[in-house]
């Protein structure tokens, strides 16, 4: 037994820092190792192994196997690939625009594109999405126009939230995509509230939400999951363990060997899934959707992945982690893995991939050119100052009216 060190706080550190050679344990679980229980009758105990293990479908040669293989059509896979490629190119372009002062701030989904896209594709259109800032890809699945997304990031006159939110903190009502909140973690309890409302109304609607590994160390996660445990609403609760919370390593967020296993204590079926495996993500989410629909309640999922880029445009990861850590990640790249699978089943080729990337690159550029016609951060025009006071209350309360009048006096309007 390890000697107890009195008077010493045990503070976990990151395993690797700049200059170290990063490596990860090889994954013990192969595709096909874990069974797929019946979603409508599955008990929490039946998922014990899944919570400590890892659900995988795709191997690194591009083959799909096992009970979790969702067996979806090649057309659907190509649709998913297209959304992921769009997300990556969109992110690259907008990051460049941030660097040239056209927008104030940006956050990429780099390396995590499969998460929101595969999981949203596994849902029904009436389902509600409670994202964090790293799931904008769900909007592509729900059909949001890129021009409108870019207008939001630019904070111009066509921004649908009129500059009230930071870039990337999207709102897309038409797609049932709930506003991203700057204080992290709030979406977890909100999703459960809406799921309880759907349950109460007898609607076949489900909610899905994602919280980061770091944010899941907040109370919000535990309050929310306790509600899910007690009231059994139709909700899919994902903890995206991408190894980092800005510069804080994942091992400071939970003392449990896996994030998934925390759900077992709340009596929720809990799965750990390879977050760079499009097929596994899709399949586990379908399972949870089926369970929600049957009235059996919530599912808790740890999405195991790696944040391949910086936290945001304000972050420099070379200060706190080795540059090669991303290459050492055993899950590889989600786009390359899906491309590999499509090629392995004879439905895709390197040439088709090149064509797709070229086409999407020009679509993103065209969308930017269209969006910037409505203004950018640098040059305006910006939403009117009056919009600070409108569209929140149906009738502006007296104290805000006073402030509004004062603003008008100062600005000479």
Ligand X SMILES: Cc1ncc(C[n+]2csc(CCOP(=O)(O)OP(=O)(O)O)c2C)c(N)n1
Residues marked as catalytic: 307, 311, 320
Angle at which helices 278-293 and 74-99 cross, to 10°: 110
Residue 239 CB, shortest distance to ligand X, in Å, is 9
Which one of Mg ion, ligand X, none is in contact with 215 (Cβ closer than 5 to 8 A by kind)? ligand X
* Beta strand spans in 187-234 (E): 207-212
Which one of ligand X, Mg ion, none is in contact with 182 (Cβ closer than 5 to 8 A by kind)? ligand X
Identity of the residue, 64 or 273, whose beta carbon is nearer to ligand X in the bound complex: 273
3-state helix, strand, coil in the chain (%, to 5): 45, 10, 50
DSSP symbol at 174 = G
Looking at the chain, the number of H-run helices and the number of E-run strands are 12, 7
Q: 244-245 and 248-249 as β-strands: parallel, antiparallel, unpaired?
A: antiparallel
CA 158/CA 383 separation, integer angstroms: 8
Site residues for Mg ion, 355-384, by CB under 5 A, read none
Residue 307 CB, shortest distance to ligand X, in Å, is 5
CA 201/CA 195 separation, integer angstroms: 10
Minimal CB distance to ligand X: which residue?
A: 212
Residue 292 CB, shortest distance to Mg ion, in Å, is 25
Identity of the residue, 147 or 308, whose beta carbon is nearer to ligand X in the bound complex: 308
Identity of the residue, 245 or 304, whose beta carbon is nearer to Mg ion in the bound complex: 245
- For residue 132, what are the contacts with CB-CB under 8 A and spacing of at least 6? 180, 184, 187, 210, 211, 212, 215, 240
The burial of 371, by beta-carbon neighbours within 10 Å (0-12 exposed, 13-18 middle, 19 or more buried), is given as buried
Which one of Mg ion, ligand X, none is in contact with 134 (Cβ closer than 5 to 8 A by kind)? ligand X
- What is the side-by-side order of every strand in the sheet holding 207-212? 128-130, 207-212, 235-241, 299-304, 270-274
Identity of the residue, 231 or 320, whose beta carbon is nearer to Mg ion in the bound complex: 320
Identity of the residue, 205 or 325, whose beta carbon is nearer to Mg ion in the bound complex: 325
CA 350 distance to own-chain centroid: 28
Residue 325 CB, shortest distance to ligand X, in Å, is 14
Site residues for Mg ion, 192-251, by CB under 5 A, read 212-214, 242, 245
- For residue 373, what are the contacts with CB-CB under 8 A and spacing of at least 6? none
CA 259/CA 230 separation, integer angstroms: 20
Residue 249 CB, shortest distance to ligand X, in Å, is 10
Which one of ligand X, Mg ion, none is in contact with 139 (Cβ closer than 5 to 8 A by kind)? none
The burial of 132, by beta-carbon neighbours within 10 Å (0-12 exposed, 13-18 middle, 19 or more buried), is given as buried
Give residues in contact with ligand X (CB under 6 A): 134, 182-184, 212-215, 240, 242, 244-246, 307, 311
Identity of the residue, 246 or 344, whose beta carbon is nearer to ligand X in the bound complex: 246
φ/ψ of 12, rounded to 5, equals -65, 145
Residue 326 CB, shortest distance to Mg ion, in Å, is 14
Cβ atoms of 131 and 179 closer than 8 Å: no
Residue 243 CB, shortest distance to Mg ion, in Å, is 7
Q: 128-130 and 207-212 as β-strands: parallel, antiparallel, unpaired?
A: parallel
Identity of the residue, 214 or 334, whose beta carbon is nearer to ligand X in the bound complex: 214
Contact pattern from residue 166 through residue 185 relative to Mg ion, giving x for each residue in contact according to CB under 5 A and a dash for the rest:
--------------------
By the criterion CB under 5 A, which residues form the site for Mg ion?
A: 212-214, 242, 245
């Amino acid at each position: 037994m390890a000697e107890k060190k009195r008077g010493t706080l045990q503070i976990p550190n990151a395993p690797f820092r700049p200059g170290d050679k990063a490596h990860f344990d090889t994954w013990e679980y192969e595709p096909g190792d874990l069974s797929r229980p019946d979603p409508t009758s599955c008990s929490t105990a039946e998922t014990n192994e899944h919570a400590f293990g890892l659900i995988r479908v795709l191997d690194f040669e591009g083959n799909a196997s096992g009970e979790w293989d969702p067996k979806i059509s090649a057309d659907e896979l190509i649709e998913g690939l297209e959304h992921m490629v769009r997300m990556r190119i969109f992110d690259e372009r907008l990051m460049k625009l941030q660097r040239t002062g056209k927008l104030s701030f940006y956050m990429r989904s780099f390396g995590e594109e499969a998460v929101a896209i595969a999981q949203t594709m596994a849902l029904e259109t009436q389902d509600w999405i409670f994202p964090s800032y790293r799931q904008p890809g769900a909007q592509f699945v729900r059909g949001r126009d890129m021009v409108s997304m870019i207008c939001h990031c630019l904070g111009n006159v066509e921004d649908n939230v009129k500059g009230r939110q930071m870039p990337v903190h999207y709102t897309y009502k038409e797609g049932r995509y709930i506003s991203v909140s700057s204080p992290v973690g709030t979406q977890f309890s909100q999703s459960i509230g809406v799921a309880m409302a759907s349950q109460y109304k007898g609607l076949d609607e489900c909610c899905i939400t994602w919280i980061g590994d770091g944010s899941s160390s907040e109370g919000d996660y535990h309050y929310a999951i306790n509600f899910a445990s007690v009231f059994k609403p139709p909700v899919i609760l994902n903890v995206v363990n991408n190894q980092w919370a800005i510069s804080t390593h994942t091992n400071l967020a939970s003392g449990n060997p896996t994030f998934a296993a925390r759900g077992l204590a709340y009596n929720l079926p809990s799965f750990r899934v390879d977050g760079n495996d499009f097929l596994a993500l899709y399949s586990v989410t379908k399972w949870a959707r089926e369970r929600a629909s049957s009235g059996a309640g919530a599912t808790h999922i740890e999405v195991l992945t790696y944040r391949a880029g910086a936290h945001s445009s304000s972050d420099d990861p070379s200060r706190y982690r080795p540059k090669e850590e991303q290459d050492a990640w055993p899950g590889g790249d989600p786009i390359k893995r899906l491309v590999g699978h499509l090629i392995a089943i004879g439905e895709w080729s390197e040439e088709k991939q090149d064509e797709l990337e070229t086409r999407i690159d020009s679509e993103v550029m065209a969308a930017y050119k269209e969006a910037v016609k409505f203004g950018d951060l640098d040059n305006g025009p910006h939403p009117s100052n009056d919009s600070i006071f409108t569209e929140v209350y149906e009738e502006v309360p007296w104290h805000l009216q006073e402030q509004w009048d004062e603003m008008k006096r100062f600005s000479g309007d």
